[in-house]
Amino acid sequence: MKLLLHADIPKLGYFGDVVEVKTGYARNYLLPQGLAVEPTESNMKAIEDERANKAKDRKLARERLLKTSGKVDGAKVTIRELANETGHLFGSVSENDVAEALCKSGFEVQAKHVQLPSHIQILGEHEVKLRFAEDISVGVVVNVIRPEDEADESESEQQNADTDADADTDAKQG
């Protein structure tokens, strides 16, 4: 059955496309939901102008996604979670947690873009795939650490900074 789409439908077509679908899919889903109509001349003319606008919007959205994916590709973020002595988390890191950490780092990423095969449940570095569109995918590194590990790292960084400052003052005095 041929139908004229009134919305973008993944893996089927875009607004204004005339597509061939099975009769059951058309009658039971597309037509009742208002996602498609019969492709008559009057329907085709009514959609023509709006189709050009939607195509322009899709192009702008794709450019924005390409720009965002270029910025976030290879980024590294740290998430702090409580864990037991063996490194297993008391909970898990989900797509929402990864997206939130990336947003805090200044990247425009939504949870729907994060592709985790399963939630992260152990400490360490994990490769995470971000999928912005069917053909736009990038990878980021998520480092899951204990909150007290951060304190240890900042103390050692502070000690290194103090040592460097002492060395600078000794060099100036010497």
Give the global pTM: 0.65
Q: What is the pLDDT of residue 174?
A: 47
C-alpha 61/C-alpha 66 separation (Å) is 9
Q: What is the pLDDT of residue 14?
A: 87
- 156 phi-psi bin (left φ>0, alpha ψ -120 to 50, beta other): alpha
Of 159 and 80, more confident: 80
Query: Could you give the domains of the chain?
Result: 1-50 (3.40.5.10), 72-163 (3.10.430.100)
Q: What is the pLDDT of residue 134?
A: 84
* Residue among 36, 37, 1, 38 at smallest CA distance from 21: 1
Least confident of 26-35, 49-58, 134-143: 49-58
Quick: pLDDT tens for 129-160: 999 988 899 999 999 999 887 555 544 444 44
Whether the predicted pLDDT of 165 surpasses 60: no
Percent of the chain clearing pLDDT 90 (strictly above): 59
DSSP reduced 3-state for 120: strand
C-alpha 60/C-alpha 38 separation (Å) is 29
Whether the predicted pLDDT of 35 surpasses 60: yes
Of 79 and 166, more confident: 79
Quick: pLDDT tens for 85-129: 999 999 999 999 999 999 999 998 999 999 999 999 999 999 999
